[in-house]
Structure 1
Amino acid sequence: MPDDLNKRGAQDRSRINLNEPHEVKYWTQKWGVSIEQLKAAVEKAGPSSAAVAMVLGKPD
């Protein structure tokens, strides 16, 4: 079942789901990175947004 787009909060922002296009768009725009850069960072750091931000050298 897909995410409920009406329920957004801290839990949604703490993990990155590359299978959800709206999440990929949010994170790439937030950090100003390409989809490929985001995917590589998630592969390296896992789905935690804080860990991915560290890999990318961006503020969480």
Structure 2
Amino acid sequence: MPDDKTKRSPEDNKQIDINDPSEVSNWCRSLGCTADELKAAVSAVGKSAEKVKEHLGK
């Protein structure tokens, strides 16, 4: 499902779009990780923000 730029919340904060550079930057800042770590986490557990947080130990 593409990221709908017109819907910012609450759905938007539940999924991580690793193809959107500004979103990657925001998630990295929020989670305290690098872009490579974020992309690896999404690859491992999917784009669910909650699962990525758990995977990264946040």
TM-score interval (norm. to shorter): 0.7 to 0.9
- Structure 1 unmatched ranges of 5 or more: none
Q: TM-score normalized by structure 1?
A: 0.84
* Superposed CA offset, 1:20-51 (max 9, x none): 11110110000110001000100001000000
Alignment RMSD (CA, Å): 1.7
CA distance in 1 between partners of 2:19 and 2:56 (Å): 20
Flag the 1:55–1:2 CA change in 2: closer, same or farther, 3 A: closer
Q: CA deviation at 1:8?
A: 1.2
Aligned residues: 57
Report percent identity of matched pairs.
Answer: 39
Flag the 1:17–1:2 CA change in 2: closer, same or farther, 3 A: closer
- The ranges of structure 1 where at least 4 consecutive aligned residues each deviate by more than 6 angstroms after the TM superposition are none
Structure-2 residue corresponding to 1:46: 46
- Structure 2 unmatched ranges of 5 or more: none
Q: TM-score normalized by structure 2?
A: 0.87
1:1-60 matches, cutoff 5 A:
3-4=4-5, 7-58=7-58
